[in-house]
Structures are given as structure tokens and as C-alpha cells.
Chains A and B, each alone.
Chain A
Amino acid sequence: ETGVTQTPRHLVMGMTNKKSLKCEQHLGHNAMYWYKQSAKKPLELMFVYNFKEQTENNSVPSRFSPECPNSSHLFLHLHTLQPEDSALYLCASSQAGGPYEQYFGPGTRLTVT
């Protein structure tokens, strides 16, 4: 595997379900990010991790819970989501100390029913 991978690619979940998104980067980076991409809106930064430590939480509701066990893996745990949370969730990585070149995964298309 190369670059940034994300699983699953598609997810449909009910509002009472609990699910997790997984991201893995194979680039030797030490910063990882979660973004939300909705139609006709700018990419929204959700969380930033540097060397496994969360350094940014962009006022994200607590129904989204990130986890970064090491510099290569990032999870987004989801519970009691709302239909407006339906979006493409993108993971990215970069070298810490600069956001200058972020490498994105293909995203997980999430639909909340």
C-alpha cells in the first residue's frame, strides 16, 4: 500500500449506530488530519494530530471522537450521528511543523439515515 488509505470507502449508518473510520499513511509523516467535505462548502478541518497528540479540535461535536494510536494510524469513531453529518470524510497526512504539503486519502463517503 502506498500513500494514504482509508476504510471503509462507503458507509451507511443509522442515527443510533456506532461505527469507526480508519486511516493509514505509508509516507513516514508525523501529522494526521481529519476533514469533512460537503457539497459546495470549503473543506472543513476537524482534527489535527502531531506525533499522536491532538493539537487541534475545530469545535467538532462530541459525537465524533478521534483516536491516533501512532503516527501512521488515525481513527474517527462515530456515534449517534445526525443526517447532516452525511459527507465525505477525508484523512490527510503531512510532516509536522508545517501544513505545507498535505497528502489526502480517497475518503469515506458517509450516509446517515
Chain B
Amino acid sequence: QQQVKQSPQSLIVQKGGISIINCAYENTAFDYFPWYQQFPGKGPALLIAIRPDVSEKKEGRFTISFNKSAKQFSLHIMDSQPGDSATYFCAASMAGYQKVTFGTGTKLQVIP
């Protein structure tokens, strides 16, 4: 019940295209859903996050869509660029608990 399932495992997108990464969770007590971006040789960095009281959050080319009833959320990267090539992790956490549950990651490659 603590798992966050992430798909796909890897993704190849052409420059200018839309990258979409999906995550699903079971525990309805989760109340914060961040996405992390990790480049090779670096630690994960917080990219964007959403709470379940909103259905969408947009920051620049990055958008989180959240479907509370389906217990799913997704990251959309618009106008994908080669510099977006990285591994993306979805995650979930709940108030009062210091554990963050991470997905298994999606390796995104944006080709010119």
C-alpha cells in the first residue's frame, strides 16, 4: 500500500515533443506528490510538486496532472529539449511522516 508505481521505465521523445510519465498510488493518506529530476552523477532535485486539492499545476514547460479518484498523477514535459534528458522520479508523502515513497524512475532521452 506504500508503493508508488511508475511507468514507463524508459522513454525516447523527439525534440519539441511531449514527454508523459505516469504514476499510481494506493495509499489515500498521501497528501503531497513531488517529482524529482536526476542527471547522471547528481542527486535528485525537486522539480515540481502538487497537493491533491488541485488537479493540475504548471511550472514553465512542466505540468503535473492529478486524478484523485483514480489515484494517479502524471508529469508532462512540453516542448521537450535534449537538456531534459534525465531520470525522473515521482514520489508521495503524507503529513506527519518523514518517509517519502519514490517510484522506480523513468529514464527520458530527448533526441534532436
- A residues near B, CB below 8 A? 4, 31, 33, 40-43, 45, 48, 50, 55-56, 58, 90-92, 98-107
Evaluate whether A4 and B49 lie within 8 angstroms (CB atoms) in the complex, with A56-B99, A99-B99 already known. no
Q: Is the CB of A105 within 8 A of B100?
A: no
8 Å CB interface, B67-112 against A:
89, 93, 95, 97-105
Interface size on B, as a range, is: 20 to 34
Other-chain residue from A41, A48, A50, A105 in contact with B43 (beta carbon distance below 8 A): A105
Q: Is the CB of A45 within 8 A of B9?
A: no
Q: What's the least CB distance linking A52 to chain B, in Å?
A: 15
Query: A-B contact count, CB below 8 Å?
Result: 58
- B residues near A, CB below 8 A? 4, 9, 32, 34, 36, 41-46, 49, 89, 93, 95, 97-105
Q: Is the CB of A104 within 8 A of B43?
A: yes
Evaluate whether A99 and B45 lie within 8 angstroms (CB atoms) in the complex, with A31-B98, A40-B104, A42-B103 already known. no
Q: What's the least CB distance linking B63 to chain A, in Å?
A: 19
Q: Is the CB of B97 within 8 A of A99?
A: yes
State in angstroms the CA–CA spacing of A99 and B31 once bound together: 11
Q: Is the CB of B9 within 8 A of A40?
A: yes
Q: What's the least CB distance linking B84 to chain A, in Å?
A: 19
State in angstroms the CA–CA spacing of A43 and B43 once bound together: 11
Q: Is the CB of A41 within 8 A of B93?
A: no
